[in-house]
């Protein structure tokens, strides 16, 4: 609906730039969201700000005074892309036509909300049920969202007689025409609530702390958002609820980390066990499991336990558990242990008696290997 920017700011059409600025500052302070958090005030604040942007610019104001538009379009001659959807829009703008016009509904959809909930890694693997507490807007139980005191009814607006809009003359280059705008008395609703609900101050909703149970699906990952339709804020004057988005935050685990659908862990194995081979038992989210370490296992070897990882969120089945073995070398040896290690080195023909290893033999063998390879290629 078209609005008279002078009327929005509450100034005369011949107001000076200083008067326009003063009027804007006054209304902006009254309607700013920091001082007036209502949804209606937020919409009025936007309208006031836009009106000031037009009237404070000398070129836009001249265009507006001449044509009724801040960009200089002449009424009825916008052409393609001129801002009118067709003849019916032009008729409605200047002559108050019906159709899409008429009183507005007070009911408005509530806002969506986003909250985070923290779960353990095991809960992410198998899924869980969590009790969520959130402070939100809920429908007022006194007026049941009607925004009026029980037993009362809205009164038809005496200014617009229920139409929600009024027509007023506007001088343009084409002469005096009629323009339609929201009724200032009822603000476009067509009726007036003379006895608003005392509990919700005529909003049809109040703020409360509510709790409910949410089922977390198996396989969710850190950062996953779950949409809970209709769990957001209650709407104004009985409007529908918005949606609630639950963002999952998975706590770090002491042992396991998650990569995709697989669970990873690192386990230290004594040097003797890695050399001789052994059987190891580990605790998993599915209970105790065991696996075999083959003789001669080296650091970095990965043991895979099938189907013990996280559940797959988008399909059936589970990932794997992967355990990386870290062969642990003893850092302190007593005399007996050192003697046994020296005996083992001697039996394996490892010359470590002097505490050092000659590198000459290694490089000589490496060179011999290259020579044999090249000689073989030449033959």
- Which residues carry a binding-site annotation? 140, 143, 157, 160, 183, 186, 197, 200
The contacts of residue 126 (CB under 8 Å, 6+ apart) are 218, 285, 311
Run of H or E residues at 75: none
Q: Which of 21, 4, 7, 18 is nearest to 64 (CA)?
A: 4
Asked whether 157 and 192 are in contact (CB, 8 A), the reply is yes
CA 176 to chain centre: 50
| 3-class SS of residue 312 | coil
Among 11, 49, 7, which Cα is nearest to 31's? 49
Angle among Cα 316, 318, 320 to the nearest 5 degrees reads 155
Count CA within 13 A, CB hemisphere, residue 249.
6
Cβ count near 119 (within 10 Å): 17
Is the Cβ–Cβ distance between 73 and 82 less than 8 Å? yes
What span, in angstroms and rounded, lies between the C-alpha atoms of 81 and 266?
66
CA distance 4 to 13: 10
Closest CA to 221 of 135, 310, 143: 310
Alpha carbons 226 and 116: distance in angstroms, whole number = 10
Residue 209 sits at the vertex; the CA angle it makes with 208 and 215, to the nearest 5 degrees, is: 130
Binding site for Zn(2+): what residues are annotated? Answer: 140, 143, 157, 160, 183, 186, 197, 200
């Amino acid at each position: 609906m078209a609005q008279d920017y002078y009327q929005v700011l509450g100034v005369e059409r011949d107001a000076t730039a200083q008067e326009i600025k003063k009027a804007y500052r006054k209304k902006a302070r009254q309607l700013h969201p920091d001082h007036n958090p209502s949804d209606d005030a937020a919409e009025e604040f936007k309208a006031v700000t836009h009106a000031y942007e037009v009237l404070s610019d000398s070129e836009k104001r001249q265009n507006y005074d001449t044509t009724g538009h801040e960009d200089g379009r002449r009424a009825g001659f916008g052409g393609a892309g001129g801002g009118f959807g067709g003849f019916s829009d032009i008729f409605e703008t200047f002559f108050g036509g019906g159709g899409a016009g008429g009183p507005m509904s007070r009911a408005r959809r509530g806002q969506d909300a986003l909250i985070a909930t923290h779960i353990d890694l095991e809960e992410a693997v198998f899924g869980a049920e969590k009790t969520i507490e959130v402070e939100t807007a809920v429908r007022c139980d006194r007026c049941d969202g009607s925004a009026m005191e029980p037993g009362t009814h809205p009164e038809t607006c005496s200014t617009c007689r229920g139409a929600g809009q009024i027509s007023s003359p506007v001088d343009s280059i084409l002469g005096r025409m009629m323009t339609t705008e929201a009724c200032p008395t009822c603000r476009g609703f067509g009726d007036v609530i003379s006895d608003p609900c005392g509990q919700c101050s005529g909003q049809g909703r109040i703020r409360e702390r509510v709790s409910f149970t949410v089922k977390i699906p198996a396989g969710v990952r850190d950062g996953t958002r779950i949409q809970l339709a209709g769990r957001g804020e209650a709407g104004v004057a009985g409007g529908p609820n918005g949606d609630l988005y639950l963002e999952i935050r998975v706590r770090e685990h002491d042992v396991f980390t998650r990569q995709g659908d697989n669970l990873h862990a690192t386990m230290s194995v004594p040097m003797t066990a890695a050399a001789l081979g052994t059987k190891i038992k580990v605790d998993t989210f599915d209970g105790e499991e065991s696996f075999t370490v083959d003789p001669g296992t080296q650091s970095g070897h990965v043991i895979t336990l099938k189907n013990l990882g996280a559940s797959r969120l988008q399909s059936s089945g589970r990932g794997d558990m992967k355990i990386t073995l870290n062969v642990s070398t003893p850092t302190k040896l007593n005399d007996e242990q050192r003697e046994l290690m020296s005996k083992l080195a001697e039996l394996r023909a490892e010359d470590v008696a002097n505490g050092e290893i000659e590198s000459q033999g290694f490089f000589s063998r490496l060179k011999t290997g290259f020579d044999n390879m090249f000689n073989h290629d030449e033959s």
